[in-house]
């Protein structure tokens, strides 16, 4: 199941295509379906043993489609309804990180219904400029901006289609991402984007020339620390299957930005790259995800 109506539709289609291609190559019977009015008809006709959820973004990894899939009582991949909804909501997930003493950048939220007239002074007091402005429920760095005092209201105005956005402390430093497979800490990767930060273009444009470093130049103790943080986040949110947690490393501290319950499976995706480094082929990774599928009840 891939595609959908989110801003990550093209990435989802690519993930679905890559997964289906690999499964067919290994003699699996596969049918790709959009999450539309034909989904139930396709499921009843095809009678799958497992539904591989290759959707990204809103309606695909926020608990919405998971609620629909549970009606079919057919095992589906990745996390269930509640954990998907929590992970996708940046405000709720960050509050959980804070409660469980997982270091994360400080933040405030901005509602377009209740505009904060003292926003600049609140940012100066709580966060300091520059800040990161992002929607609460998008993935793949969609509509994420680094803002200063001069352009913040212009950026906010461009995001007014969202009811609420997050304004987050900007953390400089290194981009570290960690993959978790169920109860296993799979591995980590460092990203060195040529762009200002690891944004949508840096993630999916082959011309962006983001450098991927698997053998991260960190002491073993620090590498174990970030892996443990990712595993803790995976566990406390109740995630299943595979997750990828995004960190910044600055002044000897790791900051968890967010946890992704349905990381991409495209040619530029990080989890397959991490898995390959640890001698886990793409088909082995996909089969692990499929074997981990459940009805989540």
Q: What is the pLDDT of residues 24-77, one digit of tens each?
A: 999 999 999 998 888 999 999 999 999 999 999 888 899 999 999 999 999 999
User: Under CATH, domain 172-291 is a member of which superfamily?
Assistant: ATP-grasp fold, B domain (3.30.470.20)
What is residue 266's predicted lDDT score, i.e. its pLDDT?
A: 84
Q: How many residues belong to the chain?
A: 297
Q: How far apart, in whole angstroms, are the C-alpha atoms of residue 24 and residue 15?
A: 14
Q: Is 287 a catalytic residue?
A: no
Closest CA to 171 of 194, 197, 200, 193: 197
What is residue 57's predicted lDDT score, i.e. its pLDDT?
A: 87
Closest CA to 5 of 65, 50, 92: 65
**197 pLDDT more than 60:** no
What does the pLDDT average to over 285-297? 92
| Peptide bond just before 130 cis, omega within 30 deg | yes
More reliable by pLDDT, 112 or 247: 247
Strand arrangement, sheet containing 184-192: 211-213, 184-192, 174-181, 242-250, 253-260
Q: Is 71 a catalytic residue?
A: no
Q: Is 89 a catalytic residue?
A: no
> What share of the chain has pLDDT > 70, as a percent?
94
Q: Is 260 a catalytic residue?
A: yes
User: Under CATH, domain 107-169 is a member of which superfamily?
Assistant: ATP-grasp fold, A domain (3.30.1490.20)
Q: Is 264 a catalytic residue?
A: yes
Q: Is 8 a catalytic residue?
A: yes
Quickly state the pLDDT bin for 104 (edges 50, 70, 90).
very high
Select which of 138, 169, 199, 246 is catalytic. 246
Residues 200-213: pLDDT tens digits?
A: 454 445 556 789 99
Cα of 287 vs its chain's centroid, Å: 20
The domain made up of 9-85 has a fold known as Rossmann fold (3.40.50)
Quickly state the pLDDT bin for 163 (edges 50, 70, 90).
confident
- Kindly report which listed range (35-39, 124-128, 212-216) carries the lowest average pLDDT score: 35-39
Q: Where do the domains of the chain lie?
A: 9-85, 107-169, 172-291
Select which of 14, 62, 175, 258 is catalytic. 258
CB atoms within 10 A of CB 148: 11
CA distances from 82 to 8, 128, 293 (A): 21, 33, 16
What does the pLDDT average to over 10-17? 92
Select which of 8, 14, 61, 62 is catalytic. 8
């Amino acid at each position: 199941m891939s595609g959908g109506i989110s801003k990550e539709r093209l990435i989802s289609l690519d993930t679905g295509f890559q997964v289906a291609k690999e499964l067919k190559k290994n003699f699996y019977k596969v049918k790709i379906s959009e999450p539309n009015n034909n989904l139930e008809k396709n499921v009843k006709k095809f009678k799958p043993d497992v539904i591989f959820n290759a959707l990204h973004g809103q309606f695909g990894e926020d608990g919405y489609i998971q609620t629909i899939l549970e009606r079919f009582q057919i095992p589906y991949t990745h996390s269930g309804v509640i954990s998907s909804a929590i992970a996708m909501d940046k405000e709720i997930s960050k509050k959980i990180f804070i409660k469980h003493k997982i270091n994360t950048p400080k933040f405030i939220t901005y509602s377009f219904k209740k505009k904060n007239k003292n926003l600049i002074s609140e940012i100066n007091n709580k966060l300091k400029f520059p800040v990161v402005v992002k929607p609460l429920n998008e993935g793949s760095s969609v509509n994420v901006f680094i803002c200063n005092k001069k352009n913040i209201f212009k950026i906010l105005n461009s995001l007014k289609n969202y009811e609420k956005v997050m304004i987050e402390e900007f953390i400089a430093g290194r981009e570290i991402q960690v993959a978790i497979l169920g109860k296993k800490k799979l591995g980590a990767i460092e990203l060195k984007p040529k762009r200002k930060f690891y944004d949508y273009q840096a993630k999916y444009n082959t011309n962006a020339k983001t450098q991927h470093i698997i053998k991260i130049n960190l002491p073993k103790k620090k590498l174990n620390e970030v892996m443990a943080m990712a595993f803790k986040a995976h566990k406390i949110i109740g995630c299943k299957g595979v997750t990828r947690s995004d960190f910044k490393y600055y002044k000897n501290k790791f900051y968890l930005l967010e946890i992704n319950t349905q990381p991409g499976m495209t040619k530029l995706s990080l989890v397959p790259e991490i898995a390959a480094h640890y001698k886990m082929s793409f088909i082995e990774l996909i089969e692990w995800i499929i074997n981990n599928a459940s009805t989540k009840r």
